[in-house]
Chains A and B, each alone.
Chain A
Amino acid sequence: MHRYKLAALLPAVVLICFAALILTRNVNVSAAAEGKISGTVKLDGTAPHMKGIDMSKDPYCSKAHASDPAHLETVVVGSGGGLENVVLYISEGLPASASSEVPTSVPVFDQKNCVYTPHVLAMDINQKFKVVTSDQTTHNIHPLPNPMTGNIPWNQSQPPGAAPVEKSWKSAEVIPVQCNIHPWMHGWFVVVKGPYATTDGSGNYTINDVPPGSYTVTAWQEDLGTQTQKVTVAAGGAGTANFTYKAK
């Protein structure tokens, strides 16, 4: 007798579990009056000296920098000690529905005057990005992810006038990118899960589309490393997270 009861109960229980799962998901999505997290990233101390780059190997490149010498961009400090090219993203607390959404915008990585612009390009997992060239010299665009992460390295040439290369990455990873023809050209693809932002020349940033909740925000700087902070965002509100890196 209770064997039958059990047989009837099993699908019922599974159904209820499914329903509960779907319901909680929907609640998360519909309740999301999205807010934002903003702040400033600063360097405490003297900005390190950035070495000049000798581009004499390629006259096209050195000519382009005749009046404006190129420097390494490992640590770029702007007005008031603001740090440029710091990537900020939510490393903990994001509901699955928000972290799996892929932005439709297509960030652009330009090869201009034999320098990567921007030096650091942040993007979401599976978000399309474009590599373009503005130069009259051949570059090869060669990202070097660790193949064990699921991101696969590739290497494509971009001679003058080449069409953009459009790609995306499968997993979160900090990926160095280089041009073998111009060995000083070195940049980063920072692939993160969920909303992100990159600091501007004054060290300011805003991460948009953040559903209300409590989060851990991580700041990544190529030379100075990562820092984290806890932030709470109210529905439609704004959280603040300012970061300070000590100069090395």
Chain B
Amino acid sequence: MRTTVRRWSLALSAAAVLMFPLASWAQLTTYDIDKRLDMESHIGNMTGHAKDGKADYRRYCVVCHGPLGDGNGESFPWVDPKPRDFQLGVFKCRSTPTGTLPTDEDLFDTIARGLDRSNMPQWSTFTKQQRADLVAWVKHFSPRWANEKPGTPIQIPAEPEVTADRIRAGRDVFARVQCWKCHGVLGQANGPSAATLTDDLGRPIAPYNFTEGARPKCGETDRDIYRIFMTGLDGTPMPSYADNIKPDEAWDLVFYLRTLMSQHSKEKEMAKQLNLKPVDPNAPAGQQ
């Protein structure tokens, strides 16, 4: 009887000792596949379920984004820009700061909006529930959603009234933070650094040309444009300016950018009346 107790205690202490490394190992494991198949998305009151998004993904998305979500689908060789690698969890169009995960709404909106000048169309035929389910399925490919929360969306103050002063101030911001280094002084995507730009995977990428009538990648409203330069487009050379442009100045810059775009706008009309000249790339910093 004594020996059984001893044997048991031995076994137990061995088990207890073994538990420590096991417990810490389990914490470090990022790959929790079961958990990720249960991935959900939350869009307002709607809940998307990864499992319900699988069929649509395999029908509509897999040809580019691939069965593993790594962007390596059958059409990968013929598509430019290349399909997004969902495993990395790095997305261009976010409402959240650079280096953070997008919100579910961000992905939900991207599916409906599509990405202009790419092979990603506007998926306007999907119901909202289908889109929500697809968002959950897209999220399940990356271990990041198991370990991190999306960033806190940047605050966008109410849009002020466009004035001549604001457009002029926006031109100063354009000069100060040197948007023209890539986008060019007229927004023609021909700045001195435009030709050598590459994305995070080393593939050539062109800056946005404001003058061609193309829609900006992450939305065409004033708020979208505000968000684009304040969050940056992760995975591309476009950085976040959130630390260096104040919210009020950001609206000024949005108005100035409108003057560069080919579409007719109030801002464009006002700039013409002001006889606004393009910024001078050779002017010393702070003097335009």
Contacts and interface: CB of A to CB of B under 8 A. Distances in A.
B90 interface: yes
Contacts of B234: 153-155
A155 B239 contact: yes
B238 A148 contact: no
Contact of A183 (B8, B16, B99, B196): B196
Interface string A147-163: 11010111111111011
Interface stretch (A10-18, A26-34, A119-127, A205-213): A10-18
Interface string B107-118: 000000000000
B71 interface: no
Contacts of B98: 154-156
Interface residues of B, number: 50
A57 interface: yes
Highest count of chain A CB atoms <10 Å: which of B17, B89, B148, B237: B237
Q: Main SS of chain B's interface residues?
A: loop
A66 interface: no
A13 B13 contact: yes
B237 A9 contact: no
B72 interface: no
A10 B285 CA distance: 72
Given A142-B237, A182-B193, A157 B177 contact: yes
Contacts of A233: none
Nearest to B179: A138
Contacts of B198: 180
Contact of B12 (A10, A21, A152): A10
A57 B192 contact: yes
A27 B144 CA distance: 37
Contacts of A156: 98, 232, 239-240, 242-243
A23 interface: no
Interface of A: 2, 5-6, 9-10, 13-14, 16-17, 21, 57-59, 136-138, 140-142, 144, 147-148, 150, 152-160, 162-163, 165, 180-183
